[in-house]
Amino acid sequence: MVTDLADLTLRQFADGRRRGDFTSEEVTRAVLERIARVEPTVHAYLRVDADAALEAARRADRVAPPPAGASALWGAPIALKDNLCTRGVTTTCASRILENFVPPYDATVVERLRASGAVFLGKTNLDEFAMGSSTENSAFGATRNPWDPATIPGGSSGGSAAAVAAGACLAALGSDTGGSIRQPAACCGIVGLKPTYGRVSRYGLMAFASSLDQIGPMARTVEDCALLLEAIAGHDPRDSTSIPGPVPPYAALLGDGRLDGLTVGIVREFFAAGLDAEVERSVRAAVRTLEERGARVREVSLPHGKYSVAVYYILATAEASSNLARYDGVKYGYRAEGARDLIDQYRRTRSAGFGPEVRRRIMLGTYALSSGYYDAYYRKAQQVRTLILNDFTAAFREVDVLAGPTAPTAAFRIGEKSDDPLQMYLSDIFTISVNLAGVPGLSLPCGFTSAGLPIGLQLIGPAFGEETLLRTGHAFQLATDWHTKRPPLVKATAGEVP
């Protein structure tokens, strides 16, 4: 069982707090102590607001939560990826260009979590503007994987994933444009859900690629992800791309662990060359577990999946080149000194303010949209996107859930792919098509490599199929204990609860 309050799941926290086993302040304090212990190694956070968190925890302890059901997050210490705007609290997107930016407003998800009584510990690290798969592209230093500090935590939500894995928060929010929740979740041995496009409001999420970005929960269990999703999902009149309609009570619909009647599709192309043998072994074993819980398994094909990285890096960079045009040193953010004139100021500001990967993607996206190339790149990519979407639609006529690896390998070593952008892009090969199709994807731990690094199982559902995904993942976690493992770093530093 739990040896330290910092290792509680959200569910354990909610039950214990309600029973009076501990207060929010006690748990928040335990988490802050854990942060103090692991942060020098992990560097999951860009800022920790200890005083504000303790104050919020005490307030949660003083005030009665709303009626049961909505109260699971009351007083729960949670971390936010630093591309989510927080009113009055610096939000940097891990970029020099926003180093001192203080939003005058809250992202909708932040507003909703506040209303749910969540306690915000601070802002977690990411690849600058969420562009990366390793969190090495942060302007403020890389985050390290708690399972092995020589390896990457994945990215771009590497800070949130590492924080959850290290007990530096009970749960966190991340964002996922091409795998940025699921791939770090896999690397850090936690659960991460990218919801259906439109399920969660993007208002206040600093945009990378608007037609792909989604905010989602990262936690230690599928059940915790369900609790968080319930709190953040739902229609938002401030986001034209958010879907109207009620939010299912996801946590109440997790089921009893049986999967009778469920058909799981194994994506043939996901098990092709390039997939690490240990990863393949664990993922196949995980599928057998689903079968044992009553699911039927069959093979399916997503024939256009192999084009998804190419499509993604055209569409995402094109959108990004436009989304990042607002960072010009006029209204907010960094401004370079000593410019000769306005254009010179723009150039200097943006060249010094953005890191190399961001500049590279702006260049790529600008090129793809520029006169004479739009049809060859942007339009073509949008057409292939249609074919990828059609693949998923066809697959979900046959099966309820798709299963496969989240990433082709476990976490790689820091620096290993920094000089080869294309190799870095290919580490998202299994996650990207999910964003292109707009469907939900869940990554959950399903084993370890011989080097002791976590391996992620990816489950993919049809649009608005979160309920099925979560039920499947929950059944898997009832049958296995991968999600209860803690990194050696945590064991080495954690004390017993008296």
Partner 1 sequence: MTDRYEVVIGLEVHAQLATKTKVFCGCPTDFGAAANTHVCPVCLGLPGVLPVLNRAAVECIVRTGIALGCAIAPVSRFARKNYFYPDLPKGYQISQYELPVCSGGGVAIGAGAAARTIALTRIHLEEDAGKLIHGENLGDPRQSFVDLNRAGVPLMEIVSEPVLRSPAEARDYLVALRDIVVHLGVCDGNMEQGSYRCDANISLRPRGRETLGTKVELKNMNSFRYVQQALDYEIARQEALLDEGGRVVQETRLFDPKAGTTHSMRRKEEAHDYRYFPDPDLVPLAIDAAFLARVAAAMPELPEARRRRYVESLGLPEYDAGVLTADPALACWFEAAVAAFPKPKTVSNWVMGELLRLLRDAGRDARDCPVPPTELAALLAAVEAGTLTRAQAKGALETMFREGKTAAAAIEAQGPAAPGGGGELAALADRVVAENPDKVAGYRGGKVKLFEFFVGQMMRASGGRSNPDEIRRLLQERLDR
Partner 2 sequence: MKITIDQVRYVAELARLDLAPGEEGSLTGQLNAILEYMDQLGEVDTTGIEPTSHVLPLTNVMREDVVHECLTNDEALANAPSAEQGHFAVPKIIE
Pick one of 2, 36, 69, 100: the residue that binds partner 2 (CB under 8 A): 100
Name which of 53, 178, 192 is nearest 113 in CA terms.
Answer: 53
Pick one of 154, 167, 178, 329: the residue that binds partner 2 (CB under 8 A): 329
Question: Which range binds partner 2 by CB under 8 A, 116-124, 144-152, 331-339, 484-492?
Answer: 331-339
Pick one of 345, 433, 449, 468: the residue that binds partner 2 (CB under 8 A): 345
Instruction: Look up 81 and say whether it is catalytic.
Output: yes
Pick one of 21, 26, 307, 416: the residue that binds partner 2 (CB under 8 A): 307
Compare residues 164 and 384 and give the one whose CB is closer to partner 2: 384
Q: Which residues bind partner 1 (CB under 8 A)?
A: 83-85, 91, 93, 98, 101, 103-105, 107, 202-207, 209-211, 237-241, 318-319, 321-322, 324-328, 330-332, 342-343, 346, 366, 369-371, 374, 378
Among positions 212-241, residues that touch partner 2 (CB under 8 A) are 237, 240-241
Q: Which does 205 bind (CB under 5 to 8 A by kind): partner 1, partner 2, none?
A: partner 1
Name which of 159, 161, 226 is nearest 199 in CA terms.
Answer: 226
Q: Which residues of 388-398 are buried (b: 16+ CB within 10 A; e: fewer)?
A: bbebbeebbee
Binding mask 410-449 for partner 2 (x = CB under 8 A): -----------xx--x-----------xx-----------
Q: What are phi and psi of 64, to 5 degrees?
A: -70, 140
Instruction: Look up 180 and say whether it is catalytic.
Output: yes
Q: Which of 157, 160, 180, 242 is catalytic?
A: 180
What type of residue is 430?
F
Among positions 177-206, residues that touch partner 2 (CB under 8 A) are 197-198
Compare residues 211 and 480 and give the one whose CB is closer to partner 1: 211
Pick one of 313, 396, 412, 430: the residue that binds partner 2 (CB under 8 A): 313
Compare residues 62 and 238 and give the one whose CB is closer to partner 2: 238
Compare residues 3 and 351 and give the one whose CB is closer to partner 2: 351
Give me the least distance between CB of 216 and partner 1, in Å please: 16
Q: Which does 90 bind (CB under 5 to 8 A by kind): partner 1, partner 2, none?
A: none
Q: Which of 81, 194, 417, 485 is catalytic?
A: 81
Residue 55 half-sphere exposure toward CB, CA atoms < 13 A: 4
Gap between the Cα atoms of 184 and 112, Å rounded: 24
Give the tokens for residue 415: 């620096």
Pick one of 321, 323, 427, 468: the residue that binds partner 2 (CB under 8 A): 321
Instruction: Look up 156 and say whether it is catalytic.
Output: yes
Gap between the Cα atoms of 472 and 462, Å rounded: 13
Name which of 347, 373, 376 is nearest 359 in CA terms.
Answer: 347
Compare residues 243 and 411 and give the one whose CB is closer to partner 2: 243
Distance in Å from the first CA to the final CA of the chain: 13
Gap between the Cα atoms of 396 and 418, Å rounded: 37
* Count of residues in contact with partner 2, rule CB under 8 A: 67
Alpha-carbon distances, residue 325 vs 97, 241, 362, 366, 374 (angstroms): 12, 21, 9, 10, 18
Among positions 347-406, residues that touch partner 2 (CB under 8 A) are 347-348, 350-351, 354, 359-360, 362-364, 366-367, 370, 373, 376-377, 379-387, 389
User: Does 463 participate in binding partner 2 (rule CB under 8 A)?
Assistant: yes
- Residue 327 near residue 354, CB atoms below 8 Å: yes
Compare residues 262 and 381 and give the one whose CB is closer to partner 2: 381
Q: Which of 116, 134, 156, 282 is catalytic?
A: 156
Pairing assessment for the beta strands 401-405 and 296-300 based on DSSP bridges = unpaired
- Residue 322 near residue 365, CB atoms below 8 Å: yes
Gap between the Cα atoms of 271 and 453, Å rounded: 20
Q: Point out which residues bind partner 2 (CB under 8 A).
A: 100-102, 104, 197-198, 211, 237, 240-241, 243, 304, 306-307, 309-311, 313-314, 321, 325, 328-335, 339, 341-343, 345-348, 350-351, 354, 359-360, 362-364, 366-367, 370, 373, 376-377, 379-387, 389, 421-422, 425, 437-438, 463
Question: What residues act catalytically?
Answer: 81, 156, 180
